[in-house]
Structure 1
Amino acid sequence: MSMSRRAFLAAVPAVTLAGCAGPPPLRVAVVWSGEELRRFLRVVDAYVAERRRPVSVYSAGDNISALLRGPAADVVPDVAVIPRLGLLFDPLVRPRIRPLTGGHAQPAFWRRLVTAPESGETLGAWFKIANKSLVWHRAGERHALAGLTAWQPRPGTLAIGAADGWVLSDWFENVLLAYAPEVYDGLFPPAEQGNQAWWGVAKVTEALTLLATIWREAFTYDQGRRALTLQFHDSILDVFSYRTADVVAAPDFALPVIERYGGKDVAGHFPFPAYPGGSPPLVVGGDVAVAMRGGGQDAVDFVDWLTRPRAGGERDVLTAWVDEGGFLTPYRQPAHPLLRGPAEALHTAGNRHYDLSDRLIGRLEGGDGRGLWRVLTELFTDVTAGTAAPAAAAAAAREKIVAAAGEGPA
């Protein structure tokens, strides 16, 4: 999918934060909207005030991949903050990234993820990270930490925003990592950018069957149809505002939504269940800031400023964002007690695995209505709003994944 300059300018609004007269604004593309975008603009405003350098922030949403791959050079931004690690290694995007030199050191686990295997160059710096292996519930309610095979939420107790493909993908990644960590590792070995042959192993079908069984048991036909209309935020409200469900699997950044609509001190969480004999899965995600070649040294300097570690006692708009919840970084512990444990795991846990779907490129690349997200949406539909047996639906889903993985680039 390519994007013309005219289409980009029509689809992507920009906010220019002015500095002194002089150079043209540094163009920064992000995926956020709403409150996340407003908070980011406050951070950029602090940069403008400090450096006296104008910045234009573009909210590209899902179009950011097309923007970075597009044939029109005048559309490619100077800096991009991207949510999918795979874009760094996309054959069309990788040559456009200016590797980072100097600046601050990143923790080893996170640095390795943004390092080009063939050259050892650092391609980006982590701005925001996320723990995607939490199950949230109302405070004061007890929920048994059953193993994955015994964790069968009764109909009406589980909320899922199935209209958002990434929500279903997070479910699959947690189940696959819990059930078959060797397959998860095989798909993306530490020093490589992917081995698609692992999609063909039997344990992928078995993990999909386990996932489909959980979904089938948790939803009636009508509940499944309703879940397919719900987005991520809606599923949070089902538990903490409407109280029509008891638990929701959601990343740490669910907390601001919980507290905005449900109130303070209303939530608790537990780790996503482990498979018997194994460890609880820990799927991590995040947003990477990259300097594009057209941005020159100014782009590198902006990325370094944006992602630099803040000192323990330092207070600015970014540390305030961390302290208020919904924003984790590799360098700072959050003030909110509910987030300290999930944040510590991101820094120290030995079983961290980066979000699988966010590493995919080609025909399996995530996005609503395409790739792995589409396959999982069809699986959810088949076993909740349809009549397919979990094993049959899982086998069909695995065939779709294998077929897409074997087709090569989109």
Structure 2
Amino acid sequence: MRRPRIAVSRLAAAATALAITATACSGLNSASGEQEFSGKTLTVAGTWNGGEGKAFRKVLDGFTKKTGAKVKFLSSRAQGRDDFALYIRDLRKSGKTPDVAMVPQVGVLQGFAQKGWLEPLPPEVELEAARNFALVWQNYGSVRRIFYGLYFKASHKSTVWYNPKIFEKAGVQPPKDYAEMIENGEKLAAAGTSAFSVAGKDAWPLTDWFENIYLAQAGPANYAKLATNEIGWTDPTVIKALKTFGKLFKGGKLVEGDGAEALRTDLNESVGAVYDKDPKAAMVYEGDFVAGIISGEFNRDVDEDADFFEFPPVGKDSQAPVISGGDAAVAMKGAKNQQMAMSFIEYLASPDAAEIWAKEGGFLSPNINLNLNAYPDDTTRKVAKSLVDAGEAVQFDMSDQAPGEFGGTPGQGEWLLLQQFIRDPSDPEATAQKLDEAAAKAYLDASATGTTG
């Protein structure tokens, strides 16, 4: 049930330099102009739809241009399927296993590997990953020291977005620590604007709030243990973080409408409360994707009308948290085109592939060799630099690492219990006990069915 953090072997990566010259695996090495996969079709499954789907289609077109391969993209969301793991399971059962899957959660990647659904990535892909990614990203793509997943798209979930005009009017600046952020919130409230709008209706933003507070307050070692249910949710560090989180929802000054209103507010509405024509709050915490909502839903210039600061340290001697998530490319066992799948994943590991989507916007890459000028605005460049500069300090979203029964399902587990908590944050110990019981059951069930690490 517990999985240690492990490093991908550097010896294996170094030893592949000679092997690459002899391998015929990659269709990318086409200096002669030959396109190895011309006339063949690669099938890629992912979650992206709408604007994201169109942007990824351009990435796929880039692979076609390099190799001649046609690429068919299967979007689970376009087919009304929200559970990607079940979507892939059903494709396998119907004999339509995709060549590559873009897995949206590290826990799902681990589950696929443990079920024997994935092919290990070959040395040339590992070498390309070693060139272009911090080791932490390779580790999260590995299960039991075997490299299965190449993280192509990332998110930065430690960004607090604010309305500069409201800050200026209240005479406050981005804070240096959590205590100052709360002090600023009180000043904003006194000036007539609530400090935060919180998307409690969607529930998952509440897990992100808790995780940032917990990582900044309890430190990365405890974060890693809690993420694997090693220390349990009744640990004093959990109760302390719940108390810190709960203070936001007491008194009606810091959160617009307190917990009751937060539970009626989804993510887009929470962003609108800060960036609409008549803002009701000064700040909204969530990931880098808030920038896309600001510009797309509310037609605001992100560089002119918005700004962000990194989620601040919580407590003395603590560090600012950097929490991320992402989508990893994996090669499915039993698919028809494994050689082409490996070449495609090697392509995704390159700065060239990342640059295609970066220019379209709504995208962050953990690729350290991607030129930041590829991003379409200064704000996104700042967020991307913050993520890349964090290097090995990046921690993955805790709820994404947990079994879906606990960390990823509406109306149950952590999502439900944190919703109940912000409605009435008076008893963090009782909430911790309920979280502990729900987590224990979910991890036990996942261990029995082999769906988590």
In structure 1, what is the Cα distance between the partners aligned to 2:395 and 2:53?
27
Report what 1:159 is aligned to. Answer: 197
1:105 to 108, 118, 129: 129
Asked whether 1:57 is paired with 2:73, we answer yes
Q: State yes or no: 1:147 paired with 2:177.
A: yes
Provide closer, same or farther for how the CA distance between residues 215 and 26 of structure 1 changes in structure 2, counting only shifts above 3 A. Answer: farther
* Whole-angstrom distance in 1 between the partners of 2:63 and 2:256: 51
What amino acid does structure 2 have at the position aligned with 1:254? V
Q: Report matched runs for 1:200-349 at 5 Å.
A: 200-217=234-251, 224-242=259-277, 243-260=279-296, 261-264=298-301, 265-277=304-316, 278-295=318-335, 296-310=338-352, 318-323=354-359, 325-331=361-367, 332-335=370-373, 336-349=377-390
1: CA distance between counterparts of 2:326 and 2:143? 18
- Determine helix, strand or coil for the equivalent of 1:246: strand
Q: Structure 1 residues 183, 266: CA separation in 2 closer, same or farther (over 3 Å shift)?
A: same
TM-score of the aligned structures, taking structure 1 as reference length: 0.81
- Per-residue CA shift, 1:69-104, capped at 9, x if unaligned? 446152432211122111121167651111111131
Q: 5+ residue gaps in structure 1?
A: 1-19, 189-193, 311-315
- Equivalence for 2:157: 132
| The 10-residue stretch of structure 1 (371-380 or 270-279) with the greater mean CA deviation from structure 2 | 371-380
The CA distance in 2 between the partners of 1:163 and 1:33, in whole Å, is 22
Cα distance, 1:127–1:91 mapped onto 2, change above 3 Å: closer
The one-letter code matched in structure 1 to 2:109 is L
CA distance in 2, matches of 1:144, 1:365: 31
* SS of 2:143 mapped into structure 1: coil
Counterpart residue type for residue 112 of structure 1: N
Q: 1:320 to 1:123 in 2, by over 3 A?
A: closer
The answer on 1:172 being equivalent to 2:210 is yes
Paired with 1:116 and 1:364, the residues of 2 have a C-alpha distance of 21
CA shift in 2, pair 1:149/1:157, >3 Å? closer
Matching of residues 3-82 of structure 1 within 5 Å: 22-23=39-40, 25-61=41-77, 62-70=82-90, 72=93, 74-82=95-103
Q: Is the 8 A contact 1:333 1:340 kept in 2?
A: no
The structure that is helix-richer by fraction is 2
Q: 2:234–2:433: 8 Å Cα contact kept in structure 1? A: no
Whether the aligned pair in 2 keeps the contact of 1:375 and 1:401 (CA below 8 Å) is no
Bigger mean CA offset, 392-401 vs 156-165: 392-401
Q: Take 2:327 and 2:173, find their aligned partners in 1: how far apart are those partners?
A: 32
Partner of 1:394: 431
For the Cα contact (< 8 Å) 1:148–1:274, is it kept in 2? Answer: yes
Partner-residue secondary structure (3-state), 1:291: strand
CA contact (8 A) 1:235 1:248 kept: yes
Q: How has the CA–CA distance of structure 1 residues 398 and 148 changed in structure 2, closer, same or farther, with 3 Å as cutoff?
A: farther
Q: Report Cα offsets for 1:297-350 as digits up to 9, x if no partner.
A: 22222222233223xxxxx7x525314543111222433322334323322325
Mapped to 1, the partners of 2:243 and 2:63 lie a distance apart of 49
Q: Indicate if the aligned counterparts of 1:29 and 1:64 stay in contact, CA closer than 8 A.
A: no
Q: Is the 8 A contact 2:195 2:255 kept in 1?
A: no
CA contact (8 A) 2:239 2:432 kept: yes
Letter matched to residue 74 of structure 1: G
> Alpha-carbon deviations, 1:277-308, whole Å to 9, x = none?
11111111111111111332222222222332
Distance 1:370-1:40 versus aligned 2 partners, 3 A rule:
farther
Residue type at the aligned position of 1:322: A
Partner of 1:10: none
Answer with 160-169 or 124-133: which moved more. 160-169
Distance 1:333 1:214, change over 3 A: farther
- 1:371 corresponds to which residue? 413
- Structure 2 CA distance, aligned partners of 1:92 and 1:305? 22
Q: Which shifted more, 121-130 or 208-217?
A: 208-217
Cα distance per residue 1:326-375 (max 9 Å; x no partner): 31112224333223343233223253211111111263241333432233
Q: Distance in 1 between matches of 2:49 and 2:265?
A: 18
Between structure 1 and structure 2, the one with the greater Rg is 2
* TM-score normalised per structure 2: 0.73
Change in 2 beyond 3 A, CA 1:123/1:370: farther
2:355 counterpart SS class: helix
* CA distance in 2 between partners of 1:67 and 1:55 (Å): 19
Q: How many residues align?
A: 372
Q: Distance in 2 between matches of 1:241 and 1:294?
A: 50
2:13 is aligned to none
1:207 Cα deviation from its structure 2 partner: 1.1
CA spacing shift, 1:399–1:195, aligned 2, 3 Å: closer
Aligned position for 1:9? none
CA shift, 1:400, in A, is 4.1
Question: Counterpart amino acid of 1:364?
Answer: F
Question: Counterpart of 1:68 in structure 2: which amino acid?
Answer: I
Which segment drifts farther, 272-281 or 212-221? 212-221
Going from structure 1 to structure 2, the CA distance change for 1:377 and 1:55 (only over 3 Å counts) comes to farther
What SS class does the counterpart of residue 312 from structure 2 fall into?
coil
Distance 1:57 1:231, change over 3 A: farther
Structure 1 residue 226: Cα displacement? 3.9
Match of 2:147? 122
Q: 1:304 to 1:216 in 2, by over 3 A?
A: farther
Percent of counterpart pairs with the same letter? 27
Counterpart contact for 2:233–2:436, Cα < 8 Å = no
Kept after mapping to 2: 8 A contact 1:204/1:398: no
Q: Which amino acid aligns with 1:215?
A: F
Q: Hey, what's the Cα distance between the residues in 1 that align with 2:275 and 2:371? A: 25
> What CA RMSD, in Å, does the superposition of the two structures yield over aligned residues?
2.9
